[in-house]
Amino acid sequence: MAAAAFICSRATMAAALIPRRALSRRFSMSCSAASAASSSGQGAGGVEFTGKVGFLGLGIMGTPMASNLIKAGYQPSPAEVASSCDVTFAMLADPESAVEVACGTNGAAEGLAPGKGYVDVSTVDGATSKLIGERITSTGASFLESRFYLGDVGNGAAMKLVVNMVMGSMMVSFSEGLLLSEKAGLDPSTLVEGPSMVKATYPTAFPLKHQQKDLRLALTLAESVSQSIPTVAAANEVYKVAKSLGLADEDFSAVIEALKSKAQGSKQ
């Protein structure tokens, strides 16, 4: 079960207002760090929220979000987090984990009730988001898929896949450009800010394995609506090669190593 934490102290948060259509007025809140609030306790343009907020999935994304709001905590079950909090945020690595945390044994749904809210910012397919949403709302709690609110549950998940699909494909193209500039005798540092990719170091901001998972889900979405996305299919294969090279946990910019490997192989 994914790591979890909940905030026992009252927190005031500002910016990124959750739509009132998605949550009841009680849960209309701002959701960034507590430090963003002014000393008066009211963020600029924000709405003061004084309930308890829980986080499920303390990975690369979840840990800093939760750390901005809590200084100490423990790892209760998702059900305990949801039961103890007014609003629970979930950010899991894949559809299977998202379903397990929300709907499984001791899952968040077991701790939810009318008047509570569940916000899922995991990158999953639309069917998974709908499944989770149905389970959450069956408890009487409110459900919001984030980061995009586009009406019916599932639309936000699809849009996030599209965005991540574009990001992943662009990184492959950017990597090709970086290698081409170097091959043409140009200084690669003029193309990219910072030395990481030029020096072949890839500090993880977004794991390569997650980017490949998002491309896979995007391809499934495209097939379901009969949309051809050949560029994405090609990019997905490059990421799969990168994973086979042991780069799954590196930043997704490490995909450039797959292209280097291919180039070296063609010389032999």
User: Active-site positions?
Assistant: 160
**What one-character-per-residue DSSP string does the chain give?**
---EEE--S-----SSPPPTTTS-GGG----S-GGGS-TTS--TT-----S-EEEE--STTHHHHHHTT-SS-----HHHHHHH-SEEEE--SSHHHHHHHHHSTT-GGGG--TT-EEEE-----HHHHHHHHHHHHTTT-EEEE-S---SSTTHHHHHHHHHHHHHHHHHHHHHHHHHHHHHTT--GGGTSSSSTTTTT----SSBHHHHHHHHHHHHHHHHHTT---HHHHHHHHHHHHHHHTT-TTSBGGGGHHHHHHHHHHHH-
Residues ≥6 apart with Cβ < 8 Å to 2: 56, 57, 58, 59, 78, 92, 97, 100, 101
Chain-centroid distance of CA 252 in Å reads 14
- Does residue 230 contact residue 218 with C-beta atoms inside 8 Å? no
Residues in the chain: 268
